[in-house]
Amino acid sequence: MKVAGTTGLIMNEPLLWEKSKKGRCGISIPESDVPSAPLDAEFEGEGPDFPDLSEVDVVRHFTRLSQWNFGVDTGMYPLGSCTMKYNPKINEKIAAMPGFAGAHPMLPPELSQGTLQLMYELEGFLNEITGMDATTLQPAAGAHGELTAMLLFYAYHKSKGEKRSKILIPDTAHGTNPASATLCGYESIPLESGEDGILTVERVAELMDEDTAGIMVTNPNTLGLFEENIKKIAEIVHDKGGLVYCDGANMNAVMGVVKMGAIGIDAIHLNLHKTFSTPHGGGGPGSGPVCVKKHLEPFLPVPRVTKDGDRYVFQYDRPDSIGKIHAFYGNYGIQIRAYSYILTMGQDLKRASQYAVLSANYIKEKLKDVLHLPYDRPCMHECVFTDKNQEPYKITTLDMAKRLIDYGFHPPTIYFPLVVHGSIMIEPTDTEPKENLDQFIEAFRSIAREAAENPDLLREAPTVPKVRRLDEATAARKPVLCGVN
């Protein structure tokens, strides 16, 4: 079998300070036309310890380090619930335009008309895509969007003279949902899903009462399944005066297919850094807009981007607003990329979701005879397997994920969602061609054969990359936090 990985040359690379040789310099600094002046006494003494390097040293150093990394531009990145889809470079080109890249957050609105127009129109696009009535771009990322939605719930109930104390959170919701609810003072009430992996109307009706602010549902959920009972569930919650929040991190499965506002959702956060194809990973950056129905619009964060005649302005006079939830207005560079992606794709946004769903179901069908499939039913954008079939050989999900690295693929999400023991969560996204999917499938099928025929090989994996398997047990028990051993 032809694999994506290889045992090609990977260069060792020391620290820059270890490469440093006194007197080497890789740049020519032009002569200064500013008169010299003595430093204040407080600044005198030894300067910063910069290494002395030639241009060759610097270029080779960063080139070699880049060869140690694996990113979405390197190959398939099948992380479930993360939507690590390819980032079109046209988005990067647009975001780098001087008028956008040079926009300063302290500029007044009259000098930021293009920026405000883009934000205003992006909010409109997101309203259309989700079927909601209003959007705020302020939240900086997904969990920040969750928190914003919970603050909106609190403000809404407070406006009605109510102080509700609980939130229903399904076991198939994203892991940050309980934390977001807790930060707003709500008690998280666990909600078990049914035997087929989705919520049951009966269980929701049993737990929903007048002291419950609402429900935080992830749809599609973290099993990659669409919550088919969501409209009835929303009716139950609304009948008790509650609100329905949807974690929209999995929106890549339903763009142009499902209008969240039409199925009973009151608020939904989106991950622009997932669904709308902007850089994702390494801790950021992200963007987590929140879209709401009309009855929650008065509570959205200030300032609101509005249009006054032919001018775009910041509106602060909103007495019911929850206030600012970000120092400035979201992560603007990510918003530009999402705006570019939406305009580029147009009506093909729906096709992107259809391809994402098709790809996940293709992988599901091609692997379910070698990997255990706990829910054998059509999935959405991601499918979840387990290591149950490999248990007789004492091979775990972790072993298979590590071995996949040797085949040249980034491992999928493992051990999440928690409701499935030994879970292997695969999301191929809409941007991988069939050839890549087939190669990934064949790699996993080969690993399943190795688990039965040569399990020791998997226990030692990975063997090809620069960094081999770490001693995770020792790392957890004896963490080294100071940077030296």
* Three-class SS state of 380: coil
pLDDT in tens, 317-347: 999 999 999 988 888 999 999 999 999 999 9
* Three-class SS state of 127: helix
Phi, psi of 409 (to 5 degrees): -115, 145
Percent over 90 (pLDDT), the chain: 80
Would you report the helix, strand and coil content of the chain in percent, each value rounded to 5?
40, 10, 50
How much is the pLDDT for 55? 93
How much is the pLDDT for 157? 98
Instruction: State how far Cα 437 lies from the chain centre.
Output: 21
pLDDT at 483 over 60: no
Instruction: State how far Cα 84 lies from the chain centre.
Output: 8
Q: Answer for the pair 415, 425: CB distance below 8 angstroms, yes or no.
A: no
* Three-class SS state of 56: helix
Residues in the chain: 485
CA–CA dist 269, 251 (Å, integer): 9
Say whether 349-462 and 103-345 share the same fold. Answer: no
How much is the pLDDT for 294? 98
pLDDT in tens, 217-274: 999 999 999 999 999 999 999 999 999 999 999 999 999 999 999 999 999 999 999 9
Q: Which two tokens stand for residue 179?
A: 């934390």
From 2-16, 94-108, 236-250, the region with the lowest mean pLDDT:
2-16
455-458 contacts: CB < 8 A, separation 24 or more?
A: 455/393, 455/394, 455/395, 455/399, 457/403, 458/395, 458/399, 458/400, 458/402, 458/403
CATH architecture assigned to 103-345: 3-Layer(aba) Sandwich (3.40)
Q: Answer for the pair 218, 197: CB distance below 8 angstroms, yes or no.
A: no
Summary count for the chain: helices (H), strands (E): 15, 12
For residue 12, count other CB atoms closer than 10 A to its CB.
6
Q: Which two tokens stand for residue 57?
A: 């040293």
313-317 contacts: CB < 8 A, separation 24 or more?
A: 313/109, 313/116, 314/109, 314/116
Q: Answer for the pair 251, 242: CB distance below 8 angstroms, yes or no.
A: no
**If you average pLDDT over residues 362-385, what whole number do you get?**
98
How much is the pLDDT for 431? 94
**If you average pLDDT over residues 59-66, what whole number do you get?**
92
CA–CA dist 399, 462 (Å, integer): 9
For residues 136, 140, 144 and 145, what is the CA-based torsion angle, rounded to 10 degrees?
A: 30
Q: Answer for the pair 374, 432: CB distance below 8 angstroms, yes or no.
A: no
How much is the pLDDT for 78? 94
pLDDT at 8 over 80: no
Choose among 484, 86, 151: nearest CA to 323.
151
Choose among 183, 177, 81: nearest CA to 414.
81
* Cα atoms in the Cβ-side hemisphere of radius 13 Å centred on 242: 26
Residue type, 338: A
How much is the pLDDT for 396? 97
Domain ranges of the chain: 103-345, 349-462
**If you average pLDDT over residues 380-391, what whole number do you get?**
98
pLDDT in tens, 271-302: 999 999 887 766 568 899 999 999 999 999 99
Angle in degrees, CA 358, 361, 362, rounded to 5: 80
Class of domain 349-462: alpha beta
* Strand 383-385 relative to strand 413-414, pairing: unpaired
How much is the pLDDT for 204? 98
- Max alpha carbon distance in the chain (Å)? 79
**If you average pLDDT over residues 438-451, what whole number do you get?**
97
Which residues, in sequence order, are CB contacts of 76 under 8 Å at separation 6+? 4, 409, 410, 428, 432, 436, 440
How much is the pLDDT for 255? 95
